[in-house]
């Protein structure tokens, strides 16, 4: 059950190279999840044809776009799967909403980056979700939980890296705040589906305290941490680097 936007992406994905690794900030992540240390100048791994996310605000936009591509592609597979086909009506509606939101986010970033740097946008990525059982509620919702929790901490960690010295940067920060609030709603509803009526919707495993307070704030993670976790899932097939992203 795909809309035209996903169909277009699927067609574009066909030309992506099927290299089973993802090189991220001095770390090589093999498709199997095996990780090996590597220097950025190691000729054995550097490939000028592999796309780098870039630096500054462009790099952050590409980073977000790559994550949104992953989430949108995952939910497209969910809506094509046996679990969704036989799921209760309320769960179907929730997963449809999540899919539609992620496609909108993905296309927003695609449009925004194309407007300012059409030759420097991360290409349509190819994914391998063969490790997910799309006929299993536990497998689908468990994977969704991981992706949504990761999305929240990714946006929280990236916000402080946005250069707000001009109007464009201020606009990017505002929009990132609007998107992360939706991602947090996604994470919350998935957690509630997995454990209805519990406190898992905002569990202590995803919250932190600040300056001695009790846990009441969502976690934030640097891009290097997030991308290493994403790479370890084995979902990303298309290789890209993130060697020039801003850091705190």
Q: Look at the block and give the residue holding tokens 């190279």.
A: 17
pTM recorded for the entire structure: 0.83
| Residue pLDDT, tens place only, 121-140 | 999 999 999 999 999 999 99
Please tell me the least confidently modeled range out of 2-11, 57-66, 103-112.
2-11
Apex CA 29: angle with CA 25 and CA 32, to 5°?
A: 170
Q: Which is nearest to 81 in space by CA: 145, 131, 10, 137?
A: 137
Residue 248 pLDDT class (50, 70, 90 cuts) = confident
Contact yes or no for 95/102 (Cβ under 8 A): no
Q: What is the pLDDT of residue 19?
A: 38
């Amino acid at each position: 059950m795909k809309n035209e936007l996903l169909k277009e992406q699927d067609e574009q994905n066909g030309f992506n190279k099927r290299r089973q690794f993802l090189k991220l900030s001095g770390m090589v992540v093999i498709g199997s999840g095996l990780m090996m240390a590597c220097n950025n100048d190691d000729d054995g791994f550097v490939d000028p044809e592999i796309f780098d996310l870039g630096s500054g605000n462009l790099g952050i936009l590409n980073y977000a776009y790559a994550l949104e591509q992953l989430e949108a592609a995952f939910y497209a597979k969910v809506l094509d799967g046996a679990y969704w086909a036989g799921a209760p009506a309320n769960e179907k509606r929730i997963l449809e909403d999540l899919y539609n939101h992620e496609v909108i986010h993905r296309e927003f970033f695609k449009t925004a980056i194309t407007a300012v740097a059409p030759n420097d946008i991360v290409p349509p990525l190819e994914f391998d979700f063969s490790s997910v059982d799309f006929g299993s509620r536990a497998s689908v919702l468990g994977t969704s939980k991981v992706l949504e929790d990761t999305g929240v901490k990714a946006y929280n960690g990236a916000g402080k890296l946005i250069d707000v010295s001009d109007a464009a940067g201020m606009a990017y920060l505002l929009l990132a705040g609007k998107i992360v609030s939706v991602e947090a709603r996604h994470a919350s509803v998935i957690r509630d589906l997995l454990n209805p009526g519990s406190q898992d919707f905002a569990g202590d495993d995803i919250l932190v305290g600040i300056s001695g307070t009790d846990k009441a704030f969502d976690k934030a993670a640097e891009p290097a941490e997030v991308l290493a976790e994403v790479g370890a899932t084995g979902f990303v097939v298309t290789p890209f680097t993130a060697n020039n992203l801003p850091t705190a």
